[in-house]
Chain A
């Protein structure tokens, strides 16, 4: 059987798809931002000498890294309202994705913190810097430049994960591709266009992030 392509339906709906793409990018960036904050807190807890903090960090990363993202999305969106916590759909998805991203960032930051040469921290202590200033002025700037490649890769991965938001009616790109598919039954056109937009966006993100990495790389 021959399939007859007709991209006219894409022409009529490309505006919605591009808007959806923009929303997905926004969600990915915001979620990574909150994920970084959560990841930093959990990473410091993981390397702390306090056993209780270590355990909390371990349980947090174990739960979010071992539960499929779609399951987490449904728990937050359909489950939390049953116990009185109702968030708007976009907020619910960002909330879920932030905690998910935070769990991955915890491991990235933990490795980054442990990679900082001890001598640099001792040098900070020698010149009289307190714990906060050592962390803020020495550890964090070095750690971020170490882990920038991992963070960049994860941002791209997180952007692709935003496609799951369609399952809770967040109007991003996959949602509109599926809407187009069920309304016009142009299966190949809808999904090939969505795939093309994801590929181009990810490629552009990778290119820009690589330039940033080269600029900020530490030359010892």
Chain B
């Protein structure tokens, strides 16, 4: 009797699953979900100038924040329709895959390894890695560090724990000791407290900090490793991916170019020219 009941329940369950899978409505695209919700949820950080950081008023600002607002304009014609979820770099992919955020715009390097887990937008910036020095530290520039290393001194370079971080430190200065931290903020703390002789960080951050706080930081003059930054999205939603790419394309090379150019001038201090008429700029 019990076996008959169990068998009947199993049949009902299987029929139910089959019915739901065949007749269920197709999963809504993230684009529709965001439009229905009325605001965008963006994962980003809060401790990296000039990408995403807190200004004196305690508001989240930076170039990644501007890209998020450009996306909000594309969705709702309103740059304020965006909610930010602050996250550490190692939470970028998990938060995306578990739907805590709609998109990650957090100076994320496009790489093949990452592209196995997430989909990237078209790149919105090309970054390089530079070396930041403490202004009152042992070395005034990169050449002095190289000379010190040749003379047998131990040089410690702090860096964000990231893809190829250890190899990058060796490329910067062979034989240097790497100190790989969880967040960029800790990298700066390591430099400030003397735990590291230098920090390998984004060149854009170095240029910002050296100009805003010259009594604390120096640009060593060294830079390398061009890398593309893109926004990350879940890979199973081509409609959302296409939409984001369209918004970015139009803001960098189309009729919304002023949005991108103004943000670029504000955070990198460089005035970009308007896109030329004729062959689209991205194919020149």
A binding-site residues for B, Cβ under 8 Å:
1, 3, 77-79, 81-82, 86, 89, 166-167, 169, 178-179, 181-185, 187
Cβ-defined contact, A185 with B93, below 8 A: yes
B186 within 8 A of A: yes
Cβ-defined contact, A182 with B89, below 8 A: yes
B163 within 8 A of A: yes
Cβ-defined contact, A179 with B194, below 8 A: no
Across the interface, A78 reaches (CB within 8 A) one of B94, B97, B163, B195, namely B195
B162 within 8 A of A: yes
Contacts A167-B182, A187-B94; A182 near B195 (Cβ below 8 A): no
CB distance from B27 to the nearest CB of A (A): 10
Measured CA separation A184–B161 after assembly (Å): 12
Across the interface, B182 reaches (CB within 8 A) one of A1, A178, A184, A185, namely A178
Tell me which residues across on chain B come within 8 A of A78, comparing CB atoms. Answer: 189-190, 192-193, 195
Contacts A179-B180, A183-B163; A82 near B90 (Cβ below 8 A): no
Cβ-defined contact, B180 with A169, below 8 A: yes
Q: Pick 30 A–B contacts, CB within 8 A, sort by A.
A: A1-B97, A1-B234, A1-B236, A77-B195, A78-B195, A79-B193, A81-B194, A82-B192, A82-B193, A86-B194, A89-B179, A89-B195, A167-B181, A167-B186, A169-B179, A178-B161, A179-B161, A181-B90, A182-B89, A182-B162, A182-B163, A183-B113, A183-B162, A183-B163, A183-B164, A184-B113, A185-B114, A185-B117, A187-B93, A187-B97
CB distance from B191 to the nearest CB of A (A): 10
Tell me which residues across on chain A come within 8 A of B19, comparing CB atoms. Answer: none
Cβ-defined contact, A178 with B195, below 8 A: no
CB distance from A71 to the nearest CB of B (A): 13
Measured CA separation A1–B89 after assembly (Å): 22
In the complex, which of the residues A1, A183, A185 has the most CB atoms of chain B within 10 Å of its own CB atom?
Answer: A185
Interface residues of B in 176-225 (CB under 8 A from A): 179-182, 186, 189-190, 192-195
Chain B 97-134 interface mask (CB, 8 Å, partner A; 1/0): 10000000000000001101100000000000000000
Chain B 148-189 interface mask (CB, 8 Å, partner A; 1/0): 000000000000011110000000000000011110001001
Tell me which residues across on chain B come within 8 A of A89, comparing CB atoms. Answer: 179, 195
Q: How large is the interface on B (under 10, 10 to 19, 20 to 34, 35 or more residues)?
A: 20 to 34
Q: Chain A at the B interface: mostly helix, strand, loop or mixed?
A: helix
B binding-site residues for A, Cβ under 8 Å:
89-90, 93-94, 97, 113-114, 116-117, 161-164, 179-182, 186, 189-190, 192-195, 234, 236
Measured CA separation A182–B94 after assembly (Å): 11
Measured CA separation A169–B193 after assembly (Å): 15
Tell me which residues across on chain A come within 8 A of B93, comparing CB atoms. Answer: 185, 187
Measured CA separation A17–B155 after assembly (Å): 26
Contacts A3-B97, A81-B194, A81-B195; A182 near B113 (Cβ below 8 A): no
Cβ-defined contact, A178 with B90, below 8 A: yes
Tell me which residues across on chain A come within 8 A of B192, comparing CB atoms. Answer: 78, 82
Chain A residue at minimum C-beta to C-beta distance from B90: A182
Tell me which residues across on chain B come within 8 A of A179, comparing CB atoms. Answer: 161, 180
Chain A residue at minimum C-beta to C-beta distance from B27: A1
Chain A residue at minimum C-beta to C-beta distance from B111: A185
CB distance from B193 to the nearest CB of A (A): 4
Tell me which residues across on chain B come within 8 A of A185, comparing CB atoms. Answer: 93, 113-114, 116-117
Given A1-B236, A183-B162, 10 other A-B contacts at CB below 8 A?
Answer: A3-B97, A79-B193, A82-B193, A178-B90, A178-B182, A179-B161, A182-B161, A182-B163, A185-B114, A185-B116
Tell me which residues across on chain B come within 8 A of A178, comparing CB atoms. Answer: 90, 161, 182
Tell me which residues across on chain A come within 8 A of B89, comparing CB atoms. Answer: 182
CB distance from B106 to the nearest CB of A (A): 13
In the complex, which of the residues B113, B163, B182 has the most CB atoms of chain A within 10 Å of its own CB atom?
Answer: B182
CB distance from A220 to the nearest CB of B (A): 51
Tell me which residues across on chain B come within 8 A of A82, comparing CB atoms. Answer: 192-193
Q: Can you list the 7 inter-chain pairs with the closest CB atoms, starting with the nearest?
A: A81-B193, A185-B117, A78-B193, A78-B189, A81-B194, A169-B179, A187-B94
